[in-house]
C-alpha cells in the first residue's frame, strides 16, 4: 500500500492574552472542544517521555492513540506524535501561540499518514475539524463558553456506556483455581493492569482509570498502555457494563468489535475459582472464524494463567501498577 501524509494547518486570532491562550491550547482538556474527542495526560508511566492519551470516534466506540510530547517550549509551542513503526495511521500535532496586536495568534497543525488515495478526504476532514476546534478555543479564551473540564465529556461517557451488548454472540471460557482468597482475587480483577503477563510480546507501561468516569460502578473505564516489541505504544480502554461487587464484572472493549469479557470470582476448596468468559459478534462459520476462536481461547487461557501466577505465592506473574 502506498501512503501519503495528509497535513493541515489552521490559524486564528484570539482576543486574549497569549499566556491565557497558551494555558488553554496546551491543556489536554482542550481536546474535548473537538466534538467526539477527548484526551488526558498519563500521570505515571514506565517511560521517560511525557505521554498523552487521545481518543476519537471509531465506529460506535472509541479508538485510542498514545501521543508522546516531542517538543515543548512553554508559552510558545508543543509538538506531539504517535510512536509507531508503521506508516499508516501515524499522527502528529503541533500547537503554537504567538503574540498578536489583537491578542494571540493560535496555530494548529495535524499530520496523519494515510493511504494515498484517501489523502484528499482526510485533509477535508481535518480542515473542517481544526476550524471548528479553533472556533471553540476562541470562544473559551474570550469568555463565551466555560473552560473545558478535565476527563471524559459526559456525552462521550453516555455513548460508551450505551454501546449495545452483543446479541447471539460466539464465546469461549477459561477457568483456574488460584491459591488466594476471593478478596485478593477480586482486587486483582478490579485493578487495571493486572495481570501483567510476562509471556505476552508487549510490556505494560501504564494503567489506570479514565478521568471523569464513575469509580466502583458501571461506567468505570479502566485503560492500559503497552509498549509493543518494536517500540510502538498502544492504548486500550474497556467500560464496565455490569458489576456485582466482589463476585462478577462484565467489561466491554470500546474499540470495535467490542469484545465482552465476564470475570466471575467464587470461593473454592483451596482458594478461589476465577472464570473468564469472552464473547464476540456472531459470524458465519469459516476457516478464518475458527482461527479467531482458537486465538481468543488461547489468549483467554493465558490471561487466566497470568492472574494465577500474579497472585499465588512464588508465582512468576507481575502485580502490575496500582490503580490510577
Question: Which CATH code for domain 3-151?
Answer: 3.30.530.20
Q: What is the pLDDT of residue 319?
A: 35
Q: Which of 208, 260, 214 minimizes the C-alpha distance to 235?
A: 208
Q: What is the pLDDT of residue 87?
A: 56
Confidence of residue 19 (pLDDT cuts 50, 70, 90): very high
Confidence of residue 89 (pLDDT cuts 50, 70, 90): low
Residue ranges per domain, the chain? 3-151, 159-311
Domain 159-311 bears CATH identifier 3.30.530.20: yes
Contact, 222 vs 238, CB < 8 A? yes
List, for residues 179-235, the tens digit of each pLDDT value: 999 999 999 999 998 887 666 778 888 999 999 999 889 999 999 998 888 888 888
pLDDT of residue 85 exceeding 60:
no
Q: Which of 49, 21, 233, 16 minimizes the C-alpha distance to 108?
A: 21
Strand pairing category for 3-14 and 103-115: antiparallel
Q: What is the pLDDT of residue 197?
A: 66
Phi (first) and psi of residue 205, to 5 degrees: -115, -15
Confidence of residue 144 (pLDDT cuts 50, 70, 90): very high
Confidence of residue 165 (pLDDT cuts 50, 70, 90): confident
pLDDT of residue 102 exceeding 80:
yes
Question: Is it true that 3-151 and 159-311 share their CATH fold?
Answer: yes
Give 232's contacts (C-beta < 8 A, 6+ positions apart).
83, 84, 85, 86
Mean pLDDT of 306-311: 92
Q: What is the pLDDT of residue 257?
A: 83
Better pLDDT: 291 or 178? 178
Q: What is the pLDDT of residue 317?
A: 38
Mean pLDDT of 246-257: 92
Render the burial of 140-173: b for 16+ CB within 10 Å, e for the rest: bbeeeeeebeebbbeebbebbbebeebeeebbbe
pLDDT of residue 18 exceeding 90:
yes
Q: What is the pLDDT of residue 47?
A: 74
Average pLDDT, the chain: 87
Taking residue 72's Cβ as centre, other Cβ atoms within 10 Å add up to 13
Confidence of residue 320 (pLDDT cuts 50, 70, 90): very low
- Most confident option among 30-34, 83-87, 231-235: 30-34
In this structure, what C-alpha cell is assigned to residue 165? 451488548
Q: What is the pLDDT of residue 316?
A: 40
Mean pLDDT of 255-268: 93
What torsion, rounded to 10 degrees, do the Cα atoms 313, 317, 322, 324 define? Answer: -150
Q: What is the pLDDT of residue 39?
A: 94
Q: What is the pLDDT of residue 152?
A: 93
Q: How many residues does the chain have?
A: 324
**Three-state DSSP string of the chain:** CCEEEEEEEEEEEECCCHHHHHHHHCCHHHHHHCCCCEEEECCCCCCCCCEEEEEEEECCEEEEEEEEEEEEECCCEEEEEECCCCCCCCEEEEEEEEEECCEEEEEEEEEEEEEHHHHHHHHHHHHHHHHHHHHHHHHHHCCCCCCCCCCCCHHHHHHHHCCCCCCCCEEEEEEEEECCCHHHHHHHHHCCCCCECCCCCEEEEEEEECCCCCCCCCCCCEEEEEEECCCCEEEEEEEEEEEECCCEEEEEECCCCCCEEEEEEEEECCEEEEEEEEEECCCCCCHHHHHHHHHHHHHHHHHHHHHHHHHCCCCCCECCCCCC
pLDDT of residue 318 exceeding 70:
no
Confidence of residue 292 (pLDDT cuts 50, 70, 90): confident
List, for residues 110-128, the tens digit of each pLDDT value: 998 888 898 999 899 999 9
Amino acid at each position: 500500500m502506498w501512503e501519503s501524509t495528509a497535513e493541515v494547518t489552521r490559524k486564528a486570532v484570539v482576543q486574549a492574552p497569549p499566556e491565557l491562550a497558551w494555558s488553554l491550547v496546551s491543556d489536554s482538556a482542550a481536546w474535548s472542544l473537538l466534538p467526539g474527542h477527548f484526551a488526558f495526560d498519563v500521570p505515571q508511566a514506565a517511560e521517560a517521555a511525557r505521554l498523552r492519551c487521545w481518543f476519537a470516534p471509531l465506529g460506535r466506540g472509541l479508538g485510542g492513540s498514545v501521543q508522546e510530547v516531542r517538543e515543548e517550549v512553554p508559552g510558545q509551542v508543543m509538538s506531539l506524535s504517535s510512536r509507531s513503526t508503521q506508516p499508516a495511521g501515524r499522527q502528529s500535532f503541533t500547537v503554537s501561540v504567538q503574540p498578536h496586536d489583537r491578542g494571540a495568534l493560535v496555530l494548529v497543525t495535524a499530520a496523519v499518514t494515510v493511504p494515498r488515495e484517501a489523502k484528499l478526504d482526510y485533509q477535508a476532514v481535518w480542515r473542517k475539524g481544526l476550524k471548528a476546534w479553533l472556533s471553540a478555543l476562541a470562544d473559551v479564551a474570550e469568555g463565551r463558553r466555560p473552560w473545558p473540564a478535565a476527563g471524559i465529556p459526559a456525552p462521550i461517557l453516555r455513548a460508551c456506556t450505551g454501546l449495545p451488548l452483543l446479541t447471539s454472540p460466539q464465546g469461549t471460557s477459561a477457568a483456574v483455581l488460584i491459591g488466594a482468597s476471593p478478596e485478593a482475587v477480586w482486587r486483582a480483577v478490579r485493578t487495571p493492569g493486572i495481570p501483567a503477563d510476562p509471556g505476552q510480546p508487549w510490556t505494560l507501561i501504564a494503567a489506570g482509570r479514565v478521568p471523569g468516569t464513575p469509580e466502583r460502578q458501571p461506567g468505570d473505564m479502566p485503560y492500559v498502555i503497552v509498549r509493543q516489541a518494536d517500540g510502538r505504544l498502544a492504548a486500550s480502554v474497556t467500560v464496565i457494563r455490569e458489576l456485582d461487587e466482589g463476585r462478577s464484572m462484565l467489561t466491554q472493549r470500546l474499540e470495535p468489535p467490542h469484545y465482552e469479557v465476564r470475570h466471575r470470582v467464587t470461593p473454592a476448596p483451596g482458594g478461589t475459582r476465577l472464570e473468564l468468559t469472552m464473547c464476540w459478534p456472531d459470524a458465519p462459520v469459516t476457516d478464518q472464524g475458527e482461527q479467531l476462536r482458537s486465538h481468543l481461547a488461547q489468549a483467554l487461557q493465558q490471561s487466566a494463567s497470568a492472574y494465577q501466577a500474579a497472585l499465588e505465592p512464588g508465582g512468576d506473574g507481575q502485580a502490575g501498577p496500582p490503580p490510577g
